[in-house]
Structure 1
């Protein structure tokens, strides 16, 4: 029987409706620097795939991954050929970094709040996310932080998904066993492979083909009973 349900955060519970490129462009405009949104989006996707894996220490990272993000932003600007004299990079990064914690930037998926409300009546809920400390104000702004205990963030845990250790850390904090826990996420490697390697049950969220309503329906119909190693019936992948 499932007793604890863990969620990934961005892409699973909420999303960025305007897209990364829009925000990079909007913040640049504050410095009277006019950049092209699509070029920024394309550069971000390219650099994101090339960024090095953050080393696993099992200890909080001293800068909450801020240095990693600064390196990413610098490379995005380099790919877009933005001269340093056109856009002061330290000042730009400082505003951009805080941009993503402002109210109204992120948006819950339409079903998220209702599903969390319904599940909380029957299960302990937690978050396991490859994010940094900005996740807490984001969850607060979205009005859902009170649903989750524990909230396990990779920059604080010192390890990113799919490393099984971050899932084991969450299980320890929740006083839960893997056999009685379920993880929901949208990333095939970080969420699906990572949680499965740690022994948790998994729900392979594949938007737009599935939403959290599919999870809720299965748990209501089946009562949360699963055998060790199962993934949800009908899940993609």
Structure 2
């Protein structure tokens, strides 16, 4: 029997844990900007992608109420910029929504790492799998739509990791205690340290050979792909 036979819930980060994040965000930003170039030329005359990002960073400081919600932040920043450029409120609202739709469509065009789908498909038969992300990918519109039981975002929880709200929300949803929960993620602070500070077991997914931060206690387990985690759980071939 697996040493983890009591496990009821596995929470799993998304970006850079189950798919590479950078190429997806780059493609989504490009689609977003191309849409704006066609529909809101006055905006792109004044702003490139870097300045749009800078505006969002400023807004994060002045709007702490939405700083955790990357979609709301993007929408509010864009709406403000459009109104400043003399688009009417109705025009600005429609343009901001259209640009966000272009972004979201590309944002969900993810390509999971090769090990992810088979491992999660097997784990799904043994316990609840809940995605917990600070990002805004929509699992139901990605290739992993059938591998998770549920997906929770920082927007759902009202706070971003390392705040405990996402983990608490996932445990309430699955009716699981910290002792019955294990978290998997790529970020030493936002995933591993945040989870174990709440009493959750936490696994570090290190796909790029990074060094563990020396100021943090080492993780329970470091893996470069999820199949190694599956073996460590004691499932191995029996899970297949």
Same fold (TM over 0.5): yes
Q: What do you get for the CA RMSD once the two structures are aligned?
A: 3.8
8 Å contact from structure 1 (residues 17, 107) kept in 2: no
Distance 1:163 1:55, change over 3 A: farther
1:216 maps to which residue?
Answer: 227
CA separation of 1:19/1:85 partners in 2, compared to 1, >3 Å: closer, same or farther? Answer: same
- Mapping 1:79-94, distance limit 5 Å: 84=85, 89-94=92-97
For residues 53-85 of structure 1, give each alpha carbon's deviation from its aligned partner in whole angstroms, at most 9, with x where no partner exists. Answer: 7449xxxx9xx876433233367x69xxxx725
Alpha-carbon distance between aligned partners in 2 of 1:222 and 1:66, rounded to the nearest angstrom:
36
Secondary structure of 2:11 counterpart? strand
Q: How does 1:175-186 map to 2 (within 5 A)?
A: 175-186=175-186
What SS does structure 2 have at the residue aligned with 1:101? helix
Contact 2:183 2:191 in 1 (8 A): yes
- Paired residue for 1:116? 120
State the alpha-carbon separation in 2 of the partners of residues 185 and 73 from structure 1.
Answer: 31
2:30 pairs with 1:22: yes
Tell me: CA distance 1:172–1:104, structure 2 relative to 1, closer, same or farther (3 Å): closer
Q: How far apart, in 2, do the equivalents of 1:72 and 1:25 lie?
A: 14
TM-score (norm 1): 0.68
Match of 1:234 in 2: none
Deviation at 1:48, TM superposition (A): 5.1
Q: Tell which deviates more after alignment, 97-106 or 214-223.
A: 97-106
* Structure showing greater Rg: 2
Cα distance change on mapping 1:65 and 1:104 into 2, 3 Å: closer
Match for 2:39 among 20, 31, 55?
31
- 1:4 has 2:5 as partner: no
In structure 2, runs of 5+ residues without a counterpart are 211-221, 236-240
Q: How many residues align?
A: 208
Conservation of the 8 A alpha-carbon contact between 1:115 and 1:213: no
**Greater helix percent: which structure?**
2
Offset at 1:184? 1.9
Structure 1 residues 72 and 124, CA gap change in structure 2 (3 angstroms): same
Whole-Å Cα distance in 2 between the matches of residues 215 and 17 of structure 1?
23
